[in-house]
Structure 1
Amino acid sequence: MKLSQKLLLLSTLLLALFFTACKGKKDDPAPSGHKVKFKAIATAGSKITNTQFGASGGEVTSASNLNVTTWESPEVTYPGNVVSVYLGVGGDGKDANAVLKAQIYVDGVLKKESVTTGTVFIANVIYTF
């Protein structure tokens, strides 16, 4: 297992612990739900090697052995009781100036983005509703 994959796995486990501890406000009305899409974009010549995404208290969906510069999840509909969603992306940059963007779109609107640079990509992004 590559260093980038190990770091992504470790960060995902830490995020999972964070999400299991999260609770929503009791006095807020429950929203009906959200359509979420996760995306990752790397500099040309770089590669995205693995991704993991999910919601607080829910299943984790992952993909490994990727060799792409852009990736996106299918659109996922999460119920109103979901507190937050997350995306973790790992990969290899072509050089020290390479860029990786990890993005979360909610109901068609970019809500959160994480940008990282370098030869080893580790990007984590969390959006709380």
Structure 2
Amino acid sequence: MKKMWLNNRLKRAVIAMTATVLLGFISSCSNDDDDNNDGGGSGTSHKVIFKAQVSPGSTITGAVYGYDAINTEANGLSGTSWTSPEFTAPAGAVMVNGGVVGTGANANATVKVQVYIDGQLKKEGTGSGTSLSGQVSYSF
């Protein structure tokens, strides 16, 4: 039962991130000060790493990360921190997305998700509560 619940949470996270990608693509004509969004994707490839951390006593249980609509799931995680393998977002990629789910130790538990592009921290997302969920996206 717990595994089914976790899989459902991870599926919802994938759906939410896919929706974020689509909305980001649709609104790519607008300019966000935090992102280098020129509406056409990146002209070069980029090295990408996602990192996540939860507050003490909490646990990361799953993650999803990738670029555009290409996502990778990491299931069966445990611990208070997680780092994705480094991957390359190819030239022409519009956006990268990453998110984690987990169990908070209490209502004040927190999760922080960061995206590093070519070795530099570009953006951070947070969440809180006993049912932790955090995500971050970055548009090229």
**TM-score with structure 2 length normalisation?**
0.79
Task: Say whether the 8 Å CA contact 1:102–1:115 is kept in structure 2.
Answer: yes
**Distance 1:122-1:5 versus aligned 2 partners, 3 A rule:** farther
Q: Which secondary structure does the structure 1 equivalent of 2:72 belong to? A: strand
Cα distance between partner residues in 2 of 1:5 and 1:28: 34
Residues 1:114 and 2:125 aligned together = yes
Cα distance between partner residues in 1 of 2:112 and 2:39: 35
Partner of 2:67: 55
Task: Say whether the 8 Å CA contact 1:112–1:125 is kept in structure 2.
Answer: yes
Cα distance between partner residues in 1 of 2:103 and 2:96: 24
Q: Which blocks of at least 5 consecutive residues in structure 1 are unaligned?
A: none
4+ residue runs of structure 1 moved beyond 6 angstroms?
23-27
Cα distance between partner residues in 2 of 1:19 and 1:67: 27
Question: Which letter does structure 2 place at the counterpart of 1:84?
Answer: M
Q: Which secondary structure does the structure 1 equivalent of 2:79 belong to? A: coil
Of 92, 95, 100, which residue of structure 1 is paired with 2:111? Answer: 100
The Cα offsets for residues 37-93 of structure 1, whole Å up to 9 and x where unpaired, read as 0111011111000000011032x1111121111000111111110000101210001
Question: Which letter does structure 2 place at the counterpart of 1:10?
Answer: R
**Distance 1:27-1:75 versus aligned 2 partners, 3 A rule:** closer
**Distance 1:115-1:33 versus aligned 2 partners, 3 A rule:** same
Q: Which secondary structure does the structure 2 equivalent of 1:16 belong to? A: helix
Partner of 2:58: 46
Aligned pair count reads 127
Task: Say whether the 8 Å CA contact 1:8–1:122 is kept in structure 2.
Answer: no
Partner of 1:10: 12
